[in-house]
Amino acid sequence: MSFKKLMLGTAAGGGSGWILEYDGSLGSGANGGGRVLSGDGTDDGNMYCMFCGSTNSDGAIIIKFDKDGTVSADRRVSSSSYAITSGSMEIDTSENLYISLRQDIDTGSGSQTRIGLIKLNSSLSEQSEVFYSFGTISAGSFSSLATRGSNLYIVGSFDTATGRRPTGIVVSQSTLNVSSSHGFASFGQNRGRVVKHDSSGNIFVGGNYRGGSSGDRYLFYKFGTTFSSNSLGREYTGTSGYLNDLDIDSSGNIYTIGFCELGYPNTRDNLVAKLNSSGTAQWTKSLVLSGDNNTNGFISGDSTQTGIAIKNTSEGPVTVHQDNRNVDSSYNDINISLWNDSNGSLVESYGIACTSHQWQTSISSSNLGALITDTHVYHHARANNKNYILKLPIKDGSAVYGNYTLNGVNFTIDDNSASDTDANDNFGSTTTGPQTRSITKTTQTNWSDSAVSVTPNKLDL
């Protein structure tokens, strides 16, 4: 493996950050790849990102790097039988990586989809591979992952006749055996976009669910330490929407982000909200960018993203938005925003635009998300048929304002003249009755890992 560091462009200040550029062929699928992960959730640990291909032979390439953007390992996982076109990835405390993917098979009497899972160690060598099935029922297109203690948590979906599609599965990290699994009742559709834990081990699942009503809903649930009991459910009622990410602080407050058809003038249809541990909204906001010209950023469907990621840091809640249009109506941008934890007012916000091209906006739900630490955002994006990993400060973003060029591709980082506007508190209660579901684990040998040499170009900000 080789690595090349380029010092290009003219930085506008001394803020720390960088852009890594990878050959687009490393992840040539429409979905491009996945979010950045960290071994310890800080800038000091190793970080990982996955680039997904579009064919079986492409597979997925996993990159391991540090806070300076120096690559220490890379690996391709591929199969002659199945493709990773929109895989999800998670990491445990030993830095084992888990990749979930959709597997399509011919059963002889029709096709069936299953939840595939690959485990790699911190050196990115394959440890084991399995798939999970529920009889002859097909699984959904993607699944979300989380780890805690010795468990791996998987949220996927199975097309049962009763419409109870979402399924939460608790798996042993060491054996990948299923210890419990439950289906969530009373749903017609689901996209389990995110699964997280609080400090007590309670499980939170967020996404978009069609709970017997027309239109998908921005919604999350709180379960116990397994998926067997549900203690809280909140749905943003009256409008279609999708919840993309959530965070829970030490007091049990819940921070959510996604997008809804809010219908406000001069606003992207994103929704940022803080709720207390009982589910009562403390504030609900939308990010407004000047120049929107009353055109909202909402596009129906799971390929849309506006509000991507949220985390309550020591500086306050930080969000990442990838908008469909930039403030000058020419180029879309990725926005980093810092909010006031007490009242939800915007402290500061800035954007990065790829002014030679456009940031790719059609990204699968399973690939949304960004690593947010107490100092930086690490975000994977695509433009010009290439993959980019961005490191951007969460505070005092003006330190990196300026125009930059990397390999002939131009970027602009600047104030996006953002402001916050109140959104209606339309959160209402919703419930689910989890039902035991018999999920079967089957060992397989359809995947292989191989060495790959990646040479990213680096631009220091």
Note the pLDDT of residue 127.
Answer: 96
pTM of the model: 0.91
Note the pLDDT of residue 348.
Answer: 95
**Position 320 pLDDT exceeds 50:** yes
Buried residues in 153-176 as b, exposed as e (16+ CB within 10 A): bbbbbbebeeebbbbbbbbebeeb
Note the pLDDT of residue 33.
Answer: 59
Note the pLDDT of residue 184.
Answer: 79
**Position 125 pLDDT exceeds 90:** yes
**Position 11 pLDDT exceeds 50:** no
CA distances from 220 to 190, 194, 369, 428 (A): 11, 9, 16, 11
Note the pLDDT of residue 303.
Answer: 42
In angstroms, the CA 57 to CA 80 distance is 6
CB 152 within 8 A of CB 193: no
Note the pLDDT of residue 96.
Answer: 97
Sign of the four-CA dihedral 313, 243, 96, 180: positive
Token pair, residue 216, equals: 């998908």
Vertex 22: Cα angle to 72 and 63 (nearest 5): 30
Task: Give which of 199, 193, 200, 195 is closest to 216, Cα–Cα.
Answer: 193
In angstroms, the CA 52 to CA 30 distance is 9
Q: By mean pLDDT, which of 57-61, 239-243, 264-268, 373-377 is the weakest? A: 264-268
Provide, rounded to the nearest whole percent, the portion of the chain with pLDDT above 90.
48
CA distances from 314 to 287, 311, 334, 373, 438 (A): 21, 10, 22, 9, 42
Task: Kindly list the structural domains of the chain, giving each domain's residue range(s) and its CATH number in brackets, ordered by start.
Answer: 18-35+145-460 (2.115.10)
CA distances from 206 to 89, 129, 220, 244 (A): 17, 27, 4, 7
Note the pLDDT of residue 93.
Answer: 93
| Beta partners for residue 246, in sequence order | 256
HSE (side-chain half, CA atoms, 13 Å) at 434:
23
Note the pLDDT of residue 288.
Answer: 78
Choose the most confident range, by mean pLDDT, from 44-53, 265-274, 290-299: 44-53
In angstroms, the CA 248 to CA 232 distance is 14
Token pair, residue 391, equals: 């490191």
| Beta partners for residue 49, in sequence order | 63
Q: By mean pLDDT, which of 23-32, 50-59, 361-370 is the weakest? A: 23-32
Q: Span 249-262, mean pLDDT? A: 90
- Contacts of 343-347 with CB under 8 Å at 24 or more apart are 343/283, 344/272, 344/274, 344/282, 344/283, 344/284, 344/285, 344/420, 345/420, 346/285, 346/287, 346/418, 346/419, 346/420, 347/316
- Per residue in 369-387, pLDDT tens? 789 999 999 998 888 888 8
**Position 363 pLDDT exceeds 70:** no
